[in-house]
Amino acid sequence: MPKDVEEKDRIVIRFAGDSGDGMQLTGDRFTNATAVLGNDLATLPDFPAEIRAPAGTVHGVSAFQIQFASEDITTPGDHPNVLVAMNPAALKADLHLLQKGGTVIVNEDAFVQRNVEKAGFSANPLEDGTLEGYQVYKVPMTSITVRAVEELGLSRKEAERSKNMFALGLVSWMYGRPIDVTLNWLHKKFGDKPQVYDANVAAFKAGYNFGETTELFAHSYQVKPAPAKPGTYRNVSGAQALALGLVAASQRSALSLFYASYPITPASELLHELSRLKNFGVRTLQAEDEIAAANVALGAAFVGQLGVTGTSGPGMDLKAETIGLAVALELPMVIVDVQRAGPSTGMPTKTEAADLLLAMYGRHGESPMPIVAASSPSNCFDTAIEAVRIAVKYRTPVILLSDTFLSNSSEPWLIPDADTLPTIDPGFATGPNAGTEFLPYLRDENLARPWAIPGTPGLRHRIGGLEKEDGTGDISYEPENHERMTELRAAKVAGIAKDVPALGVDDPDGDATLLVLGWGSTWGTIRAAARRIRDQGKKVATAHLSHLNPFPSNIEDVVRRYPKVLIPEMNSGQLALLIRGRFLVDAKSYAKVQGLPIFAEDLEQEILKVMAE
């Protein structure tokens, strides 16, 4: 008998299992199928912090959360409606996240006594009332998968590896995801390995058919496509969008892109993405250490290429000396910081946005630099282009702040028309600029010095970290000259404020008394929380900073316009410190330092609390 189909506006699913259970792959494949259907979506991959945590333990749980909807959404959801738990450890780690009355789908075969004990349960949670109040579906995923592939001649251990495809097939049936998207991907991925391909296809179809034929599930669910602007879309992660943005900036500036980095979580993915784009003339180098990567990128900038290096917090510490050299040389260079939880090694797979003050002041001497920050996975594309534009136009290193959440998460992206992207003119020096002389530090109207490619006739000049004489670039120890050069470098960065958009404010009626000001990946959460507040008939204004140094020229007017200012951050209040210190505004900080994004539900409650004060 055909089963009923229940319509939903939005669904939040969390896949969770051991690191070897393929939950990231399962979530990624479900996301791609969801994108094809036209749902709006946002994802949150959640990796274990330990590389080789003991199998079956809570510390080794890997999870992937996706929210998909028939309307505009900006977050991966606060609490899942559905938890797919492949073993007891996954249930132990993530059950507290599930909304009350939510759905739990468990791999029943994994709940043997040994696994139950390793997860820290005193008794089998499927039998002791732990799941009371939830809708529980106990599915023998492992044993059905083994039976589905037994004719292929695989060992039991090899057969069990396909159980994530069974789970994907089952959930694909439950939520009406197209099967051809997954089958085509499996053929592309494993088509040259017939046995592996056949096993994954058999497991996927077994899961799909199980949902369709078993009496365990009374109905499936449908989420209609979300309204969207006309155009071509693709699902894109922050790392992918950032790589594409750097390549687009390279093309629009006619500069060869040279990217150097040392492997570090979570920035390594950017190196992987760029290494796949050699057809655009991209050169990538995996350096022997962080210092070398920064030096090589700066060297690329010196010879007239688009020099970029990327890292995370610990790498930024090591690159500081070279970044200071880039400030002194006044060469265009982009430093990508994919922030993670610190200090030191911290929680390397968890998200945090606590490097703002590091980016502002984390170098010796007076060495101001422009700072831009991405706000969503797709916005990483635009932010990369903006970072390159500023670096090239003003002859300065630029720090681009992303974070683990942005880098790993994904969302639909409307692919822009390449012709609409800004043109970036390197404006290389071609000859003497002072009569018959070439002065390497003779500045233009933006206080930017010439960019002279080594070997160009007549453009010989000195470089190095010692202070330069204004204009000539000769070494100078004169006190007055040092002060002047310090002031000129600072004035150049400050002058960028006239070249960035004014800070926009979302205040529908223009009479809100509370402004929620954010930066970085809090954008989606702030937007979602503000929507909830407005749905209650209350008024709140929001604004989001992309340019953090210099601030937009109207920021003081904006923060002084509102009696109350609330700044949510994934740190202990770094932007709030800057706003209070510079503008003497009593900005309140809402801080979260847990290795997790801020949830819209929690920010909503904080907004209501501040409103009531």
**Shared-domain flag, residues 391 and 306:** yes
Any domain includes 396? yes
**Shared-domain flag, residues 439 and 538:** no
Tens-place pLDDT, residues 234-277: 999 999 999 999 999 999 999 999 999 999 999 999 999 999 99
Amino acid 4: pLDDT: 87
Any domain includes 421? no
**Beta carbons of 29 and 168 less than 8 angstroms apart:** yes
At what angle are helices 179-190 and 194-213 packed, to 10 degrees? 160
Q: What is the mean pLDDT of each run of 10 residues along the chain (613 residues)?
A: 86 96 96 95 92 87 97 96 97 96 97 96 95 96 95 89 96 96 95 93 97 90 94 96 98 98 97 97 98 98 98 97 97 98 94 98 96 98 98 98 97 96 96 94 97 94 92 96 98 98 97 98 98 97 98 98 98 98 97 96 98 94
The label of the residue with tokens 């510390």 reads: 59
> How far is residue 176's CA from residue 517's CA, in Å, rounded to a whole number?
39
DSSP 60: G
> How far is residue 450's CA from residue 441's CA, in Å, rounded to a whole number?
7
Given 3-state DSSP classes, what are the helix, strand and coil percentages for the chain, each rounded to the nearest 5?
40, 20, 40
Any domain includes 288? yes
Amino acid 3: pLDDT: 79
CA-to-CA separations, 81 to 12, 13, 103, 424, in angstroms, rounded: 5, 6, 6, 46
Any domain includes 227? no
CA dihedral 521, 522, 523, 524 (to 10 degrees): 90
Any domain includes 212? yes
Number of helices (H), then strands (E), belonging to the chain: the values are: 20, 22
Q: How far is CA 399 from the centre of its chain?
A: 15
**Shared-domain flag, residues 46 and 144:** yes
Any domain includes 195? yes
**Shared-domain flag, residues 408 and 550:** no
CATH number at residue 522: 3.40.50.920
Tokens representing residue 144 in the block:
């059905």
**Shared-domain flag, residues 272 and 179:** no
CA-to-CA separations, 12 to 81, 219, 601, in angstroms, rounded: 5, 17, 14
Domain count within the chain = 4
Any domain includes 93? yes
**Shared-domain flag, residues 558 and 490:** no
**Shared-domain flag, residues 56 and 102:** yes
Tens-place pLDDT, residues 193-220: 999 999 999 999 999 999 999 988 988 9
Question: Model pTM?
Answer: 0.95
**Shared-domain flag, residues 239 and 311:** yes
**Shared-domain flag, residues 516 and 608:** yes
Amino acid 457: pLDDT: 93
**Shared-domain flag, residues 307 and 215:** no
CATH number at residue 274: 3.40.50.970
**Shared-domain flag, residues 484 and 568:** no
Burial 394-422, CB ≥16 within 10 A → b, else e: bbbbbbbbbbbbbbbbbbbbeeeeeeebe
**Beta carbons of 255 and 305 less than 8 angstroms apart:** yes
At what angle are helices 23-36 and 163-174 packed, to 10 degrees? 30
Domain end position, chosen among 478, 499, 520: 499
**Shared-domain flag, residues 252 and 358:** yes
Amino acid 239: pLDDT: 98
Q: How far is CA 161 from the centre of its chain?
A: 29
* Continuous H helices in 536-597: 555-561, 574-583
Tokens representing residue 599 in the block:
């949830």
Burial 345-372, CB ≥16 within 10 A → b, else e: ebbbbbbbbbbbebbbebbeeebbbbbb
> How far is residue 440's CA from residue 331's CA, in Å, rounded to a whole number?
11
**Beta carbons of 298 and 319 less than 8 angstroms apart:** no
> How far is residue 97's CA from residue 107's CA, in Å, rounded to a whole number?
18
**Beta carbons of 521 and 570 less than 8 angstroms apart:** yes
Domain end position, chosen among 180, 200, 222: 222
Helix (H) or strand (E) holding 170: helix 163-174
3-class secondary structure, 217 = coil
CA-to-CA separations, 265 to 271, 272, 340, 345, 348, in angstroms, rounded: 11, 12, 8, 10, 6
Any domain includes 150? yes
Amino acid 1: pLDDT: 61
Domain of residue 40 covers 4-222
Domain end position, chosen among 499, 529, 549: 499
3-class secondary structure, 415 = coil
